[in-house]
Amino acid sequence: MFKPISLILQNYLYDLMAVKLLLPVKTINLLIKLVIFILLALAIYYQVFQYKDLDDVLQTFVASLHSQSIFLLGCVLILLFFNWGFETLKWKKLIDKMEVIPFFTAYKAILCGVTFAVFTPNRIGEYGGRIFYLQKADKIKAILVTLIGSLSQITVTITMGVLGLMYYLWVNELIDPKLLFIMGLIMALLIFLVLGVYFNVRFAYRIMRRIIFLKKVRKLFRIFLLYDNRELAVIFGLSLLRFGVFTAQYLLLLKVFGIDVPVVTGLNMIMLIFLVQSILPSITLIELGIRGPVAIYFLGQYAATELSILTASYSLWLINLIIPALIGGLLIARINFFKNTAYA
């Protein structure tokens, strides 16, 4: 039996570090955690405490607090756990094909992934951050499987965003009806193509099999053959539920900070905001610099001040990303990076 590639690489890195640094495993393990904590702290510091509108946002936040807004804010915080809960169900259903893990173990893996996501470009660290809670599954295959879940979420965001765009153009009569009809056909084709890509992940393996320089690693991509369209539809449904959760969070935060927008209009604007954010490349350190202007563009006409929009956008980011990242950081303190298991 051949050892998984990731396990060979993991053992090699351990041997290399142990020989060259002449340090015990616990010390190396501690150093890795220290580096992670430093990167997390720097990312949060530059994103939170160096945010140019921080003082104004804090004043707006405090000024908006009253009995009703505190209740709504509490609802947003509760929905945080549903947000990542649906993501956990998604990942667990995918990873169970390789290794069956308890729900709460999967939840902890998800939160650790969020920690790595905070200080990596386009949050790519999220994929690798989850695998440390797997004991038997091949780590590289586990990362590939995680990509299916991400593809599902992106597919939902683009699909809902395109539908929202068509509704926005139609309701506001921004273009000629004939042109709108043509655009509708083009957008329908786009949605069909996006869904077609997602529901044909098995085709990815067939492509990899035909690419000569990927022949040595094509066995890894056989993992895509494990999922049929029924299972992918379930994953898609969970992604849709998750999209509904953070859309509801955003809508509640708009109410918290006094942005009086009709529910249907608010949902439409949020769909467009998420669509634009999904298209633009994202680095956590500059993410708020992207989120703010996008939110202001779509919601500016419904708010008394731009600060209320910035505060809502900032709060959503803080609740859904930074809080889970901090919890994940605490969980990482219990991980052994040089074993195939995580501490209980």
Specify if 233 maps to a domain.
yes
Specify if 344 maps to a domain.
no
Q: Which residue has the tokens 């040089």?
A: 338
- Closest to 142 measured CA to CA, from 153, 152, 133, 151: 133
| CB distance 28 to 17 below 8 Å | yes
| Nearest-10 crossing angle of helices 54-63, 306-317 | 90
| CB distance 275 to 162 below 8 Å | yes
Specify if 207 maps to a domain.
yes
Reduced to 3 states (helix: H, G, I; strand: E, B; else coil), residue 24 is coil
**Cα–Cα distance, 199 to 234 (Å, whole number):** 11
Extract the residue ranges of the chain whose pLDDT is less than 70.
1-23, 204-205, 208-218, 281-289, 339-344
**Cα–Cα distance, 162 to 174 (Å, whole number):** 16
Q: Which residue has the tokens 């405490």?
A: 49
Specify if 338 maps to a domain.
no
pLDDT at 211: 67
Sequential DSSP letters for 323-334: HHHHHHHHHHTT
Range list of H helices, 119-200: 125-129, 139-171, 177-198
Specify if 339 maps to a domain.
no
Per the structure, the count of domains in the chain is 1
Listed in sequence order, the residues at least 6 apart from 337 whose beta carbon sits closer than 8 Å to its beta carbon are: 29, 32, 33, 132
Listed in sequence order, the residues at least 6 apart from 151 whose beta carbon sits closer than 8 Å to its beta carbon are: 197, 198, 201
Range list of H helices, the chain: 5-21, 25-44, 54-63, 67-95, 103-118, 125-129, 139-171, 177-198, 201-210, 229-256, 263-279, 284-299, 306-317, 323-332
C-alpha atoms less than 13 angstroms from C-alpha of 249 in its C-beta half-sphere: 26
How many Å is the Cα radius of gyration of the chain?
A: 22
pLDDT at 268: 92
Specify if 337 maps to a domain.
no
- Closest to 153 measured CA to CA, from 106, 225, 90, 96: 90
**Cα–Cα distance, 69 to 258 (Å, whole number):** 9
**Cα–Cα distance, 74 to 310 (Å, whole number):** 19
Specify if 249 maps to a domain.
yes
Listed in sequence order, the residues at least 6 apart from 229 whose beta carbon sits closer than 8 Å to its beta carbon are: 199
Specify if 342 maps to a domain.
no
Q: Encode pLDDT of 85-143 as tens digits.
A: 999 999 999 999 888 999 999 999 999 999 998 888 777 888 888 888 888 877 888 88
Q: 132: which DSSP letter?
A: G
Q: Which domain holds residue 197?
A: 5-332
